[in-house]
Amino acid sequence: MQELLSGQGLACERDDRLLFSDLDFKLHCGDVLQIAGPNGTGKTSLLRILAGLLPDFDGELFFKGQPVADDPDHFRENLLFIGHQPGIKLNLTPEENLRWYQSLYHPADTDHIYHALAQVKLTGFEDVPCYTLSAGQHRRVALARLFLHAAPLWILDEPFTAIDQGGVKEIEQLIADHAQQGGGVILTTHHNLSLPTELNVIQLGQSHQSETEQA
Amino acid sequence: MANDANPQLAHEKQRVVRREDGVRTSSWRAFTGTLKRDLLLVFRRRSDIVNPLLFFTIAVTLFPLGISPESDFLAQIAAGVLWVAALLATLLSLDSLFQQDMADGSLEQLVISPHPLAVMVLSKVLVHWLVTGLPLTLLAPLLGVMMFLPDDGFGILFLSLLLGTPTLSLVGAIGAALTVGLRRTGVLMTLLILPLYIPVLIFGTGSVIAAVNGMAVAGHLAIMGAMFMTALVLAPLAAGAALRISLNG
Amino acid sequence: MWKTFVAWFHRMGSPKWFYEITGRWIPWFAAAAVLLITVGTTWGLAFAPADYQQGNSFRIIYIHVPAAILAQSIFFAMAIAGGIGLIWKMKVADMVAKSCAPIGATMTFIALFTGAVWGKPTWGAWWVWDARLTSMLILLFLYFGVIALQSAFDSKQSAARASAILSLVGVVNIPIIKYSVDWWNTLHQPATFKLTEKPAMPPEMWMPLLVMVIGFYCFFAVVLMMRTRNEILEREKRTQWVQGLLSEKG
């Protein structure tokens, strides 16, 4: 399988505290990679480094074998990141929220937005302001992006937060499908993932040394 | 969350998107998309437009009350008072320029989108000017009447604000971007930005005074135009860099 | 030539190297500063001729002018150091920039204070909206902004970067501010006396001034190096070489 994203000798220091160092990893097309570890070991920091939100790190990142720093826009076009905050405006409807997101990547296409919202079970909620929706539904609006922007690389920070049990299963299925179609997923979660595909795990916070291992 | 009832459609959609993947995303589209979203947000919370205008009006009202209602005296200070009040109104409303985006995570999405961050900043600044700087400019002549601004000053007051307020929005965006990640900003942003506003204030007020005294104002306006162009080019870059730092925490 | 410069530049980036080399430089700069400032002060205050219009009160320029020049130079130095830290991610440059701010603010304050002291006998008021003094006052505000921003961030790295951006923005603005304040000043009050812009100062008057300016630069270098060294020790306290240094000193 083709290599999608890889990192060499990654190290991150936050406020004089070494979070991790000498971290190497490779994510191939079709891989799902979980960043695991106790609180405060730098899971979110690592994800933000990978997404290009945190420039303070040592080491190098490669997208499809090319250094990310050489063409960051190419990397960003192929990245879909969902962070802690869903990135939803409460005063806008789900449709308007997604219309903005769509404008960042694709030409406007209302059918496509309705379709994405249907996929995350928000049919009928397209036109109501988001402040009337629940936290779980906000998450779902954010997750609808997965259908709007077909980026090969997904980086998801705690995607299961506030999602009900049935929803968790659906997202797991979605991740598995994405991997099957040749995409790559990197995520953090406290939830025990049950995926049909193999799950790679980066364990952070083990005696200051991190290593990649197969789970 | 694959919708089993409609697998065909899902596949079609996937194909459509994949095909577009070859095309580079357009920063112009992202610019207008963000512009439309932010305008829509302001439209939903119309008080955001009204508050700076109320502040402007009240602040101007304080001067006759605090100093003297005598018309000759007010006429003398009118240009300065109007400019200072407009400047403060702009500054106070800028505080929240990026705050909401930071809190709800959409700022992250802007930063990792494949567009120059400066373009995105420009889009937000344009919205800010449209809903603050422009209304302030339109309201200023009205308050000029209350301040007994001499007749020759009105046109130039309007023009100078029209040229100056975009500069204020642009420069202020740097301060907003620098402080958006901080837990307690308080008056910090005001402290950072006010000294940078001084040249705009000097030439803005200067142009109105010159017009009232029957002197040429083209030079003033040219300088204000030059300041606007400089801010237009440099401020979004600085604000973009500042936003990346603020996201770092 | 270029290569040695690049090598030097990279070595400057190492806090340990910076600490050691500046340790050797400080005594020299300190000696030069003491010598020059002593000579300049004595010369300026005791031997230079009195001004034909202002009498002896003009002698304050031997402190005012060096302080004012330093105040502006330090802002530029701070922005350049900040820019280097921002672009090349050089920690030492960040620390230099951070150390610059309080020194610069102090110099600005000295310039303002001496300006006020000079204003009293000359204009009969402690404060006059003289173009130079007004520019200095705004510069002081800019310094306060940078210092306030530095202390507002929890993360030292973010603090350094944010204040670097602010000082770069400030540097772009300083000439604009200076120009507009000068223009504003000529519009509002054509001052009869200016603190420094006199018609051709005779050499007996400006020579001691020159000595003072150089002395002030040396003094700035000493204080800057000392502050930066403190900052280095504080930030690198976990490293081996600082630990070794501390145990050595007992």
CA distance A16 to chain C (A): 8
Residue C51 structure tokens: 């001004």
Cβ of A15 within 8 Å of Cβ of C156? The answer is yes
pLDDT band at residue C195 using 50, 70 and 90 as cut-offs = low
The angle at the Cα of B135, spanning B134 to B136, to the nearest 5 degrees, equals 90
Separation of alpha carbons C70 and C83, rounded Å: 19
Report DSSP state, residue A134.
-
- Which carries the bigger pLDDT value, residue C54 or residue A201? A201
Residue C31 structure tokens: 């000696």
Cβ of A107 within 8 Å of Cβ of B20? The answer is yes
pLDDT band at residue B177 using 50, 70 and 90 as cut-offs = very high
Could you tell me what percent of chain A has a pLDDT over 90?
Answer: 40
Region of poorest pLDDT, from B195-209, C99-113, C203-217? C203-217
Which of A64, A90, A100 should be substituted to probe chain B, the one whose Cβ sees the most B Cβ atoms within 10 Å? Answer: A100
pLDDT band at residue A208 using 50, 70 and 90 as cut-offs = very low
Domain boundaries, chain C: 30-46+57-191+201-249
The number of C-beta contacts closer than 8 angstroms across B and C is: 80
Residue C120 structure tokens: 């009293």
Mean pLDDT of chain C: 87
Q: What pLDDT is attached to residue A213?
A: 41
Nearest CA in chain B to C149: B188
CA distance A85 to chain B (A): 5
* Neighbouring C-beta atoms of residue C51, cutoff 10 Å: 15
Nearest CA in chain C to A15: C155
**Is 60 exceeded by the pLDDT of residue B3?**
no
Burial class of residue B103, CB neighbours in 10 A (0-12, 13-18, 19+) = exposed
Q: What pLDDT is attached to residue C194?
A: 54
Cβ of B199 within 8 Å of Cβ of C162? The answer is no
Tally the domains of chain B: 1
Provide ipTM, 2 decimals. 0.87
Residue C211 structure tokens: 């000595």
* Neighbouring C-beta atoms of residue A146, cutoff 10 Å: 24
Distances (CA, A) of A81 to B62, B227, B237, C209: 50, 38, 24, 61
CA distance A164 to chain B (A): 12
pLDDT band at residue C244 using 50, 70 and 90 as cut-offs = confident
When CB atoms are compared, the residue of A79, A103, A181 closest to B30 is A103
Separation of alpha carbons B123 and B120, rounded Å: 5
Residue A32 structure tokens: 């799902």
Region of poorest pLDDT, from A16-20, B100-104, C98-102? A16-20
**Helix then strand then coil, % of chain A, to nearest 5:** 35, 30, 40
Q: What pLDDT is attached to residue C127?
A: 87
Cβ of B114 within 8 Å of Cβ of A76? The answer is yes
| Chain B residues touching chain C at CB-CB below 8 Å | 174, 178-179, 181-182, 184-185, 188, 191-192, 194-196, 198-199, 202-203, 206, 227, 230, 234, 238, 241-242, 245-246, 248-249
The distance in angstroms from the start CA to the end CA of chain A is 19
Residue in A21, B176, B94, B91 with CA at minimum distance from that of residue C162: B176
pTM of the complete model: 0.89
Q: List the domain range (segments joined by +) for residue B39.
A: 2-248
**Is 70 exceeded by the pLDDT of residue C192?**
no
Note the Cα C239 to chain centre separation in Å: 31
**Is 70 exceeded by the pLDDT of residue B2?**
no
Average pLDDT over residues C142-166: 93
When CB atoms are compared, the residue of A14, A16, A56 closest to C238 is A16
Q: What pLDDT is attached to residue C8?
A: 75
**Which chains touch B (3+ CB pairs under 8 A)?**
A, C
Residue in B206, B148, B198, B213 with CA at minimum distance from that of residue B168: B198
Q: What pLDDT is attached to residue C193?
A: 52
The answer to whether B211 and B219 are in contact (CB under 8 A) is no
Mean pLDDT of chain B: 88
Cβ of C176 within 8 Å of Cβ of B245? The answer is no
- Which carries the bigger pLDDT value, residue B126 or residue B185? B126
The answer to whether C133 and C113 are in contact (CB under 8 A) is no
A10 forms beta bridges with A23
Cβ of A15 within 8 Å of Cβ of C238? The answer is no
Separation of alpha carbons C229 and C99, rounded Å: 9
